[in-house]
Amino acid sequence: MINFSNFEKKTKVIFKNKKLLEQAFMHRSYINENPSTNLSHNERLEFLGDAVLELIVTNFIYKKYPNYAEGELTALRSALVNAVIISEIATDIGMNDYLLLSKGEAKDKGKARSYILANTYEAYIGALYLDQGIDVVDKFVTKTLLPKTEEIVTKKLWRDAKSLVQEKAQEFVNFTPAYKVLKESGPDHDKNFTVGIYFGTNLIAEGKGQSKQEAEQKAAEAALKVKNWMD
């Protein structure tokens, strides 16, 4: 079994109940290969952590941005707690080295691993909440995730690029943007897509992502830059 003491030292958070910490890192696939383990997988902790994380982020941005309307706050919160951002944070603090996975899952380093890391971060928050309460969780989230807020706001990453480019295209060129998959590559579990955004028959820009939705967002962001519609 993995020793979590180095992770505790790195995060400066020492768990009272070590089993809770261990469970936070335990993926369902690990249980399937190790049925004798006396712990459950981390999905219930993830469910709890997701709610706690949303509350902390909501409270933070509500106080920090008093002039933002409800829709803007919702978009900003979504940008902060999305799986890509959270998996990056989880990687930065070293969670990847402590995941309890099946041998098959352990080999997968693509999109599936990113989602596992994001879920583990949320499960860890759930475990920490049960172990030490909301104030300690608040400090952890403030230290690890909330510093991303400034970058998201400064670069206006919280805005939905597809909605914005549609609004601008209809205003300036009287077109509704259309998206088309130009290329697919990679195995089914780790696909990569290249999507083009068109105004009529004109290809304006391209975007790449690990899902069609992500590639469309990237294409929309690129089109905003090409057209100088970033505000």
> How far is residue 221's CA from residue 171's CA, in Å, rounded to a whole number?
17
| Active-site residue, from 22, 122, 131, 221 | 122
Q: Provide the CA 142 distance to its chain's centre, in angstroms.
A: 16
- Among 50, 131, 216, 221, the one annotated catalytic: 50
Q: Is 6 helix (H, G, I), strand (E, B) or coil?
A: helix
pLDDT for 34: 86
Residue 223 CA to residue 231 CA, distance in Å, equals 13
**Residue from 70, 82, 76 nearest 115 by CA:** 82
pLDDT at position 214 is: 86
Question: In the CATH scheme, what is the homologous superfamily, with its name and number, of domain 5-154?
Answer: Ribonuclease III domain (1.10.1520.10)
Question: What is the residue-averaged pLDDT of the chain?
Answer: 90
Q: Name the least confident of 38-52, 103-117, 195-209.
A: 103-117
181 DSSP β-pair partners: 195
pLDDT at 157: 67
* Residue 160 appears among annotated catalytic residues: no
Write down the pLDDT at residue 1: 65
Tokens coding 55:
């509350």
Of 137, 147, 160, 110, nearest to 13 (Cα)?
Answer: 137
User: What is the pLDDT, as a whole number, of residue 231?
Assistant: 61
Q: Is 50 a catalytic residue?
A: yes
Q: Domain ranges in the chain?
A: 5-154, 161-226
161-226 under CATH 3.30.160.20, yes or no: yes
